[in-house]
Structure 1
Amino acid sequence: MYVVIEGIDTAGKSTQLDLLQKKYSDAIFTKEPGGTQIGVKLRAMALNGEAKSGIAEMFLFLADRAEHIEEVVISNEDKMVISDRSMVSGIAYASIFELEKMIELNLLATNNVLPTHAILLELSAEELTYRLSQKENDAIELRGIEYLMNIQNRMKETIIKLGINHLFVDASLKIEEIEIEIEDFLNGK
């Protein structure tokens, strides 16, 4: 099982991943970008703005993804792999590029390996506005509510276009309610 937890910043991914780690102690927990040795370097290069071109930055993330699929997902096919983000986020955040082109490039990078389960924690614009007001915002969050809502919509569209078995969860629910929904989804209920 290759499970990915997706959502824009402040949606509650970290909280749900912590809960999953307690339940699935035998699972492999990873993240994108940066879930491999090479990935840590590529992530740092991308996030530090070393690539001056948007296309070069996108290829750094694709290189990280290719390595991650090979090293973490495929080499642990016999185990449950749970990832904080995946190609879904990669496609969504590369919003300056056409969706179909990004899907094509990501399928190439992943050798057509897709998550078996995608969980998207969704926020309304009102809830996102409130959550962002409660913290200091990073560079991506400072791009604004409309930008982040477009990314969230692009995540949904990507999951649907790829035909990934998915659960879209209202991230404004209580933590325990979200936890139960995720547990039921992973157990096929």
Structure 2
Amino acid sequence: MPGRWAGPDTLAHVIHPPSPGLFLSFEGGEGVGKSTQARLLADWLRTTLGREVVLTREPGGTTLGIELRNAVLHGAEIDARTEALLYATDRAHHVHSLVRPALARGAVVITDRYLDSSVAYQGNGRDLGAAEVERLSLWATEGLLPHLTVLLDLDPRIGLTRLTGDPDRLERAGIDFHARTRQAFLDRAAAEPARWVVVDASRGVDEIHREVRARAEALPGLAPVARDGEVAR
């Protein structure tokens, strides 16, 4: 029997599979500070709450993912559908081999990008169709969604100026492409406010971190881990 994710329903209709862990994702355009904020939240969860944290990214969170990341971002030019399928391949392996096992043992998994990026970048940015890319990602992950998705929102004309090094395939896609992806992220956040929090990424790093941390603290199940001789608060 097909899973829920095989039909035309949107992400809002998918139910979180039961798991003792927590799954958080950071989304947004280029240069918004996702990696920095993911690392800061991971450090806080480890040091303050004593939680096991798995900090990862897409693409590239596994050994196979590193190869796929190099191919899709830095390899020879490929068409949009091939690009979408490579991201889905990375995501399927990432979830199966790393994310689900970590959640099953009670870890907090924080990923720098997840399936919402594919919907925004390939579905809207590449004009492949958001619904089609969404269904592909849900099939690849067996319907796994984050408990919280943090959207770091920033004008792409500012974000692109923050980049260093040689631009990858997506970074050099052009301002119209990045404007479409930004709007796609905002539209998805507005449609599903229970999962998303939109954060103004034009502010300072510490101010952004405080807002992200406050939202994370409100998640059910994000309690400190009791250490020997202590009682969890």
Unmatched tracts of structure 1, length 5 or more: none
Counterpart contact for 2:30–2:159, Cα < 8 Å: no
Q: Partner residue of 2:116?
A: 88
Unmatched tracts of structure 2, length 5 or more: 1-21, 47-51, 220-233
SS in 1 for 2:30: coil
Offset, 1:165: 1.0
Offset, 1:130: 3.9
- Structure 1 residues 163 and 50, CA, compared in 2 at 3 Å: closer, same or farther? farther
Q: Partner residue of 1:112?
A: 143
Which one has the largest radius of gyration?
2
SS in 1 for 2:95: helix
* Residue type of the alignment partner of 2:71: M
Q: Partner residue of 1:36?
A: 62
Q: Partner residue of 1:46?
A: 72
Q: 2:89 aligns with which of 50, 53, 63?
A: 63
Could you say what the CA RMSD is over the residues aligned between the two structures, in angstroms?
2.2
* Residue type of the alignment partner of 2:79: S
Q: 1:102 aligns with which of 133, 146, 162?
A: 133
With normalisation by structure 2, the TM-score equals 0.72
Offset, 1:38: 1.6
SS in 2 for 1:141: coil
Larger helix proportion of the pair: 1
Alignment of 1:124-143 (within 5 A): 124=155, 128-133=156-161, 135-136=163-164, 138-139=167-168, 140-143=170-173
Cα deviation 1:165-188 (Å, max 9, x = unaligned): 111001112222211110111011
Identity over aligned residues, as a percent?
A: 29
Offset, 1:134: 5.3
Distance 1:131 1:53 in 2: 25
Question: What is the total number of aligned residue pairs between the two structures?
Answer: 186
Cα deviation 1:92-117 (Å, max 9, x = unaligned): 11032111111111110110001111
Distance 1:34 1:2 in 2: 17
